[in-house]
Each structure stands twice: as C-alpha cells, then as structure tokens.
Structure 1
Amino acid sequence: MIDFEWYRSFCMIYKYNSVSEAAKVRMMTQPAMSQHLASLEAEVGEVLFNRTSRKIVPTERGKQLYSQLAPLIESLEETTMNFKMASLPTLTFIKLGTAHEFYTEKVLPQLHKSNSSVISNLGTADQLLELLKEDKLDLIVTSQKVPTPGIEYQSFMDEEFVIVAPMHYKIPDIDSLEHSEGWLSSQNWISYGLDLPIIRRIWREHFKKRPVIRPIHIIPNLHMILKAVENGMGLSVLPTYLLRNLDEEKIKVLFPELRVNNELFFAYKLKDKQLPQIHEMMTIIRESE
C-alpha cells in the first residue's frame, strides 16, 4: 500500500533534482527521504529517477507520474491549509520587504487597500532574502531569483531602465552603435554601486562588451540619483517608473533604444504559500503596474 508521504517526497525530489535538498525542505533526514523514494519505486515497479554524480534526473515514467501527482497534492495541501486557517485566529499583519525606491513608488500609494497591517522593511535583495529565510519577513519583492530550499518565486513585472541626462547635455550627431558607446563611455556617470548595476547590463546587451567607466559618484538610492542628474552632475540609468512625473526642464532620456528590462519577483516561504495576506498583498502590488 502506497503511503501519501512517499508521493510528497517524490514531488519534492522532482522539483529540486536532489534528495538532499528535498530532505531539507521537508525537514527530514536524507536516508528517510531516500527510503521514501525507494519504497515508491518498488511499489510502482519502475525506476523514477536516473542518478548522476551531481543530481538525479527523472525518467519518462517519473515525468509522467509527477504530471499526475503535482496538481493533486497541491490541491490537497491547499485544502489542508484552509482547514488549518479556519481553526486559527485570523492574522492581521504581514511583514513585507522591498527596495526603498520600489516601496515609495509602487507600494506606498497602494497601501491603503490592504486589509492587514503591514510591517515594512526596506533593503537590498541580499538583505531581504536573508530576512525571509529567517522568518522575519513573509513576502519580499526582489530582482534576484536565488534558488533557496523552502522558498518559492513568482515573476510579476519587468522594470524598464533607460539612460538619463541633464537637459542641457548636448549630444553630437552619432551614426553608429560604436560611436554611441564611445561617446557614452567618455561622459560623467553616477552609479548605484561600484559594480555598475544595470549600466553593465546595457553595455552587455547592446554593445556586447564590458563598460569601461569609472563613475564620478556612487549613490545607493535611485531617488537621489535622479536628483543628482537633475542638478547636472552626469548621466545615469533609472527605471521608467521614476520618470512618470519627469521635469522636462531638468532631465531627458538619451538613446531610448538602449533600454533594458529587469525582471522582478515575489518571494515567500513555501510553508506560507496559502496565507491570504500574502495573496492579497501580491494582488495589491500587481495593481500598481
């Protein structure tokens, strides 16, 4: 007789391509997880994974079984969570983490729509992920999808970044991508970090090379970078959502064809996946697009 827990372990191994990672997520020992898989394979009568030195790969029978089991187990876990939620006091708060600029522009104007109290934490992607892993946050908005046991990501929007300059900047007649790159490289730049985040993306995607730029200022705040550009200090790269109320007398977009997109994700603990506060907050933030 097949134990339901074997199915749950099989699906987790399938998802992570690793018995050890699946064991961590399920909070089991690796031998116990291996025993679940061995028992299920014995019951099915076929091997469900091929083992390699680095990971395990599902067989055709394994793929077929997963496609049948995954929606059933997800539905059952959702039903179980609903039963648990019905018997618990309703949680009235959610701990949310985002970057400062995204929070100001996208979350704060929507916050009045939340039926829960929101405890906000602002920081970098690395900082927010650590807080999520430590259960100090329930939901984060991040531009980095770092595979982490027990954490699920949902893509929900693309940030669009463009090159901006003070209005007084005069651009020479440029007839090629090579000349654009040369002129841009010779300008004064303001960057969010020494590693030239996003600026490096523009060079890689459009010029197929690394930027040879030494920024004159490092300012780890997009609103302050916008103000610095308005004050005539140099060029930078900013998300278009910061430019919706652009002061056309102070700042302008250069070379709009050189724009790049940066994917944003929601991230939360798998164990909290069905919490209504998380779903409500994700819906609210999506409405800000």
Structure 2
Amino acid sequence: MNLDLLRTFLAVHRVGSLTRAAAHLGLSQPTVTVQVRTLEEKLGKQLFVRRAGGVTPTGVADELAGQLGRHLDALDEVVDRLLVTDSGNQTLQFGGPPDLTTAKVIPALAGLIERGLRVRTSFGPPDQLIEGLVAGRHDLVVSTARPRQGGLTVEPFFEEEFVLVAGACWAAQLPDDVTAEGGAALDQLPLVSIGEGLPIVGRYWTTAFNRQPRMRPAVVVPDLHAALAAVTAGAGVSVLPTYLVADAIRSEQLVRLYDPVIPPRNMLYLVNRTGPCQPQVKVAWRHLMTEAKFW
C-alpha cells in the first residue's frame, strides 16, 4: 500500500476537508481527491461522504484512522528527527498568545529542541501576529481568531475551554447553586480579569447566566498566567482556560465553581504561509498538530 495514499487519507480525516488537507500537504485539491478515490477503490469501501464545506468520514474511515494514526505519526516522528538534525537552518520563529505558548507549545517542542531545534517566540494579538507571519517575521503562528487573508494555510489547532474558579475561601461563601438568580451571589466577590472590559468573563457570564457581569474587576492583570497567580493567592474569582487551571484544581488550590452544560470555548488556529517551507517549520507544524490532540 502506498504510504502517500494513507497520509492523504489521514490528513483529510483529521481536518474534514479535501481543500484544507491539500493546503496542509502541499498538494493540489484534485490530487488529494484522486488519492482518496484511489484508496477507496483499493479498499472497496467508501471513506468519506461529500458535503457542502467539507467531508464526513464513514465508520470505516473512523476505524481506519484509529488504526493508522499512531503508526504514521510515529513514522513521521522518526523522519522529523532526521530533518531537524540535518537542517542547516534549525531556528523556528514562532508567534502566539503568551499563555498557551508558555504552558503548552514550548513544552510540546521540547523533544525537538533536544535534537537541535532553536525556537524564538513572539507574543501579541492575532492581527499583529498574522501581519508578522505574512511579512516573514514568523514561521508559525497560533491565532485566537481565524485569519481571512489569502496565501495562508490555516488549521483548527486547539479548542480551549473556560472554567469559573476561585480559592476555597471564596467558594465557601457561595450557595450550592451559584446559578440562582442569574449568579447574583457571584456579584459580591472580587473579580480578577485580564482587561477592564471583561473580555473572557463577559462571554462566560452570557453563556452560563444569560447576562453580563455587574461587578467591576478588583484586579486587572495583563495575561492569564498573572490571573491564575492572583486567583490562587486568594484575590478573587476569575474565568480561566482549563489547560491552565487543571493542576490547581486537582491539588485543591482552586475550586471549580460551576459546570455549565455547554461551557464557553474558543478555537485556536495554527497558521503558516502556503507553499514550500523549511524542514524545521514542517516538522514543528506536524509535531504540534499531533501533540495538541492530548491537551
């Protein structure tokens, strides 16, 4: 069996689109279509149902992807190690939000760094990061908003989920049902926010309590790590991503105050320039896409 057919199939399965898989693989969309059809003919099974905006995998495709994924990823990892080692230019210019970059991206790249990859990071808002990517200042960017510019390859990367947390001292002052009267009891607690406009807190309140928060922030900090430190120290209540607070909740430093049926979420995107790229960029892209499945 031709490994290219299997890699193409896996890419389509993971992104749910022939077009996006083609951009990720550096192939034309017709080539990806032909390869998928060729694999379907060889297997005698339909793998995808075409629909507007993408494709839906069949049960056969889901089973095949489950069996293939870890083996192809392991094989690619072996090749990636050689590419990083042999690359003449091993520096990756990476841009992203400071919190996810610090907590997840850099640790995920640690294995490649051990093999010689050098990483230079830049932080900033999504429009600034994408501008830097287009201008060539960055090789890869994680964006909190989906960019619409042409000439970019954009993949859904990681969906962050937000949770309402506080220290035990504040949690003890709340009723068992914090949703009573639209979460009115929470209005009496000091709030830690990453901005005066309550960008994350406001979205959570709208989703969980069907209203905007009525309190002004007691503490305003520049990033989520600072908010985590403040809340852990007992400064008040805040809304933070689960990847950042999971350890503090497990160790009972923080208490999860509410579990909404549909928690607020935000999709982050991995972005690079469409077309040929340096080996270390290709390796980092593939490595991060694989690692993010376990975050």
Q: Contact (CA 8 Å) 2:178, 2:186: kept in 1 or not?
A: no
Structure 1: stretches of 5+ with no match in the other structure: 1-14, 16-68, 76-88
Q: 2:95 aligns with which of 89, 94, 97?
A: 97
Give the direction of change, closer, same or farther, for the CA distance of 1:163–1:223 in structure 2 (3 Å limit): same
Q: What is the aligned partner in structure 1 of residue 149 from structure 2? A: 148
Do residues 139 (structure 1) and 140 (structure 2) align?
yes
Q: What is the aligned partner in structure 1 of residue 264 from structure 2? A: 260
Do residues 271 (structure 1) and 255 (structure 2) align?
no
Q: Distance in 2 between matches of 1:190 and 1:172?
A: 17
> Structure 1, residues 222-267: CA drift from partner, whole Å, max 9, x if none?
1221111122111111111122321745321111227321111101
Aligned residues: 210
Q: Distance in 1 between matches of 2:287 and 2:89?
A: 18
Q: Secondary structure at the match of 1:193?
A: coil
C-alpha RMSD of the superposition: 2.9
Q: Distance in 2 between matches of 1:210 and 1:244?
A: 26
Q: What is the aligned partner in structure 1 of residue 105 from structure 2? A: 107
- Percentage of matched positions with identical amino acids: 29
Matched residue type, 1:283 = R
> Structure 1, residues 106-133: CA drift from partner, whole Å, max 9, x if none?
1222323225322222233233122112
Q: Distance in 2 between matches of 1:179 and 1:241?
A: 29
Q: Contact (CA 8 Å) 1:113, 1:284: kept in 2 or not?
A: no
> Structure 1, residues 13-61: CA drift from partner, whole Å, max 9, x if none?
xx9xxxxxxxxxxxxxxxxxxxxxxxxxxxxxxxxxxxxxxxxxxxxxx
Q: What is the aligned partner in structure 1 of residue 228 from structure 2? A: 226
Q: Distance in 2 between matches of 1:230 and 1:198?
A: 18
Q: What is the aligned partner in structure 2 of residue 243 from structure 1? A: 245
- Give, in angstroms, the shift of residue 220 of structure 1: 1.3
Matched residue type, 2:254 = I
Matches within 5 A, 1:46-65: none
Q: Distance in 1 between matches of 2:149 and 2:140?
A: 14
TM-score, normalised via structure 2 length: 0.62
Q: Contact (CA 8 Å) 2:178, 2:185: kept in 1 or not?
A: no
Matched residue type, 2:235 = M
Matched residue type, 1:162 = V
- Give, in angstroms, the shift of residue 74 of structure 1: 9.7
Matches within 5 A, 1:96-245: 96-114=94-112, 116-169=117-170, 170-175=172-177, 177-245=179-247
Q: Distance in 1 between matches of 2:158 and 2:247?
A: 20
Matches within 5 A, 1:35-74: 70-72=29-31
Structure 2: stretches of 5+ with no match in the other structure: 1-18, 20-27, 35-86
Q: Distance in 1 between matches of 2:196 and 2:130?
A: 21
Q: Secondary structure at the match of 1:278?
A: helix
